[in-house]
Amino acid sequence: GEDVEQSLFLSVREGDSSVINCTYTDSSSTYLYWYKQEPGAGLQLLTYIFSNMDMKQDQRLTVLLNKKDKHLSLRIADTQTGDSAIYFCAETLYGNNRLAFGKGNQVVVIP
């Protein structure tokens, strides 16, 4: 079954890069996602990567996927105060349309 793990807290200075990590256990994952949750708001889809890709870049966001180690990371370049939020990674499995989420990683950007 799916099990997604994330570290809990990251503090970063404005303008620096931040990297959030996630590990998952199910090798049959087909898509992996990053969601952002700002205080009092819903889950905002940031980006996704298909499991046959190693990397995806989308403006300030870079997703790296190491399928061998089942490790997913999200790098945010030039982190801004608006990036302060909880970031969740999630996966879907082949033949399955449910998302399995990690516990989330809170990112706090210090001005």
Partner 1 sequence: EPEVTQTPSHQVTQMGQEVILRCVPISNHLYFYWYRQILGQKVEFLVSFYNNEISEKSEIFDDQFSVERPDGSNFTLKIRSTKLEDSAMYFCASSEAVRDRGAFFGQGTRLTVV
| Residue placing its CB nearer to partner 1 in the complex, 47 or 62 | 47
Among 23, 56, 64, 101, binds partner 1 (CB under 8 A): 101
Question: Rule CB under 8 A: is residue 60 a binding residue for partner 1?
Answer: no
Distances (CA, A) of 97 to 23, 31, 63: 20, 10, 22
Q: By CB under 8 A, tell whether 88 contacts partner 1.
A: yes
Question: Is the Cα torsion angle 55, 88, 105, 46 positive or negative in sign?
Answer: positive
Which residues, numbered 25-44, are part of the site for partner 1 (CB under 8 A)?
A: 30-31, 33, 35, 40-44
Determine if 48 is a binding residue for partner 1 (CB under 8 A). Answer: yes
7 binds partner 1 (CB under 8 A): no
* Calpha distance 18→71 (Å, rounded): 16
Residues with Cβ within 8 Å of 26's Cβ and at least 6 positions away in sequence, in order, are: 1, 2, 3, 70, 91, 93, 100
Interface residues toward partner 1, by CB under 8 A: 4, 30-31, 33, 35, 40-45, 48, 88, 90, 92, 96-104
